[in-house]
Amino acid sequence: MRFIDQFSLKDKKVLFRFDYNVPLDSSQNITDDSRIRATLPTINYALDAGARIIIISHLGRPKGKVKPEFSLCPVAKRLSRLLHKDVVMAPDCIGDNVRGLVDSMKSGDVILLENLRFHPEEEKNDEGFARQLATYADVYIDDAFGNAHRTHASNVAITKFVKECGGGFLMKKEVNYFQKCLEKPARPFVAIIGGSKVSGKLEALVNLIKRVDKMIIGGGMAFTFLKAAGYEVGKSLVEEDLMPMAAEVMKTAKELGVKFYLPVDCVMAPEISAEAETKIVPIQEMNSHWMGLDIGPATITLFTEALANAKTIVWNGPMGVFEIDAFGRGTAAMVHSVANSYAMTIVGGGDTDVAVHKTGESDKITYISTGGGASLELLEGKELPAIAALDACGGAL
Q: Give the catalytic positions in this structure.
A: 35, 197, 350, 373
Report how far residue 315's alpha carbon sits from residue 359's, in angstroms, rounded to the nearest whole number. Answer: 15
Q: What is the 3-state secondary structure (H, E, C) of 30-95?
A: ECCCHHHHCCHHHHHHHHHCCCEEEEECCCCCCCCCCCHHHCCHHHHHHHHHHHCCCCEECCCCCC
Q: How far apart are CA 271 and CA 110, in angstroms?
A: 50
Residue 3's DSSP bridge partners are 167
Local structure of residue 364 (DSSP, 8 states): G
Q: At what angle do helices 372-379 and 351-359 cross, to 10 degrees?
A: 110
The whole-angstrom separation of Cα 159 and Cα 393 is 5
Instruction: Sheet with 312-316: list strands edge to edge.
Output: 259-261, 214-217, 189-193, 312-316, 344-347, 367-368
Task: Please tell me whether residue 171 adopts helix, strand or coil conformation.
Answer: helix
- DSSP-derived letter for residue 162 is -
CA distances from 185 to 190, 207, 378, 383 (A): 10, 15, 15, 19
State how beta strands 139-142 and 164-167 pair.
Answer: parallel
Q: Residues of 20-45 as b/e, b for ≥16 C-beta within 10 angstroms?
A: bbbebeeeeebeebebbebbeebbeb
